[in-house]
Every structure is written in structure tokens, then in C-alpha cells.
Amino acid sequence: MAARVLWGAAYSVYVRSARLALAEKGVAYDLVEVDVFAAGGPPAEHRARHPFGRIPAFEHDGFRLYETGAIARYVDEAFDGPPLQPTEPRPRARMNQAISILDNYAYRTLVWDIFVERVRAPAQGRAPDEARIAAALPKAATCLRALEDLMDGNPFIAGPTPGLADCHALPMLTYIPHDDRGRGADDPPPPPLRMVGSDDGASVRRGDAFAAGVGLAASPMAGADAPRKRWTGCYNNCNNKISE
Ligand SMILES: N[C@@H](CCC(=O)N[C@@H](CS)C(=O)NCC(=O)O)C(=O)O
């Protein structure tokens, strides 16, 4: 086993955030799958690593760590590779502010209230909780608008290069899988995009796939093209790293 191990599940938003940080740094590691949703709860050995039974957990040469923000910062600081945190106080504060927004406001809203209800519930044969989705959409818009504001014209959340805030954000914002290759410009979007789009989906057009996937193009707060383009670049740059 490698000297670095990440315990978690490949589908997990937070595991993907940690993996993005590892990938951006060029750090090799083993991903060891853990099923925290198993009947009976997380395996006992995982509870020994993570008393709250969440994923990911990380180990580097015997040093054990849990909480994605802590793992990502450690990875950035303990290994060679491009720095993923600004050194100046203000952009660094923006990075930390964005990560806090993502943890405290975006994760539950985007992933559990919207994605799970709109996409996972039907796949599991359950009717989506439409009231929960409807209540979440304005909160999602607030989250996305807040992140856009923090970017302040930068191509990435906290500056000109991808960093930990982007690693944290992307899995949440791109969690909804979709692929509109071959889709005509005027075809209705698939349900995940319709979910966050206009009632008839007409505003989502081909070419907006990445932007829509990160939740901006079709979000209730969608407006100018500029923010979408920023997110698109961000997505393309980082997301490929964990699909390799
Ligand atoms: N605060 C934790 C959150 C991690 C988290 O919630 N992970 C999810 C998977 S994306 C999980 O383990 N869920 C299991 C559960 O809710 O019981 C972190 O930053 O690592």
C-alpha cells in the first residue's frame, strides 16, 4: 500500500475534493473504498479512522487526518507541487470564505436537497420531494451568486490559478452527471439540467453543458455569460484530473 491512503468512495463529493487537491499537487495515493452508507453504518475500522463515520479519511506515513479542508491544506503544505493556497491575506481569506460557504450552505442544498431529490430519488423508485427542491433552489442561487462575487473577476475562486477553493467547489457544483453531446441546440435538456433550468428548459442550449453542469447557466440567478465562462474554464481544468 502507498504511503498515502485516502479512504472513501469514488462517488463522494468530499472524497472528490480531496482527490482534486492530491491530483493538482501530483501526489500518488491509494484510494480505498469505504461504504459509509452500508446497512449497520460505517465499518468499525473506519470509525477508528473517523469518529464521525464520514469520508474521506487520509493517512500519510502514519499521520492520520480527517475533514476534507484539513486534508487538502495538509496535502498542499506537506508536498511539493504547485501551491494551492494564496499567500496574500486577502485572497487567502477569500479562499477560506468560499470553502466555508461550500461546507455550510452549498453542500446540503446542492447535493442533498436538489441532486439527491431530483436525480437519485427517481433512480431509486422514490418520488422526489418537490417542496424540498423548490425551497432549495433560491438557496442554491444565493450560494452560486456568493461564489461568483468572491471570484471578483478572477478565472478561479481565489485568484488566477486553481486552488483549494476550486477543488472544494467543483465536485459539489458538477455532481449532476450529464452529457449532451449529440443533443440538438433546441432539444430539451435532460432532467438534471431541466431541474435547475427554466420551466421548459428552453434557455439551456448546446454548448452550455459544462456551465449548466456546474449549476450556473440554468440556475435561477443565471444572467451574464461571463460567470459561466469562468466556471467552464475551471471545470475543464480541474475535473479532468480525477477522471484520469
Ligand atoms: N465535514 C466532512 C464532511 C464529509 C461528508 O459529509 N462526507 C459524506 C460523503 S460526501 C459522508 O461521509 N456522508 C456519510 C453520512 O452522511 O453518514 C469533511 O469535510 O470531510
Domain spans, the chain: 4-78, 89-242
CATH-assigned architecture of domain 4-78: 3-Layer(aba) Sandwich (3.40)
Per-residue pLDDT band for 131 (boundaries 50, 70, 90) equals very high
Ligand 1 lined by 54 (C-beta under 6 Å): yes
Q: Which residue has the higher pLDDT, 97 or 197?
A: 97
68 close to ligand 1 (CB < 6 Angstrom): yes
d(CA 106, CA 172) in angstroms, rounded, equals 8
* 12 Cα–ligand 1 center, Å: 8
Q: How far apart are CA 210 and CA 236, in angstroms?
A: 8
CA of 161 to the centre of ligand 1 (A): 27
Span 73-103, pLDDT tens digits? 999 999 999 999 999 999 999 999 999 999 9
| 64 sits in which H/E element | strand 63-66
Residue 33 has pLDDT above 80, yes or no: yes
89-242 maps to CATH 3.40.50.300: no
Mean pLDDT (the chain) is 75
Find where cell 452529457 sits.
Answer: 179
Question: In the structure, what pLDDT confidence band is assigned to residue 48 with cuts at 50, 70 and 90?
Answer: very high
Ligand 1: residue whose CA is nearest its atom 15: 54
Confidence of residue 1 (pLDDT cuts 50, 70, 90): low
Q: How far apart are CA 215 and CA 198, in angstroms?
A: 12
Q: How far is CA 81 from CA 23, 25, 27, 28, in A?
A: 10, 5, 8, 12
Specify the residue with its C-alpha closest to ligand 1, atom 13: 54
Nearest atom within ligand 1 for CA of residue 70: 19
Dihedral angle sign, alpha carbons of residues 216, 221, 227, 228 = positive
Q: Record the cell numbers describing residue 35, joined without a space.
A: 461504504
User: Looking at residue 120, what is its pLDDT?
Assistant: 82
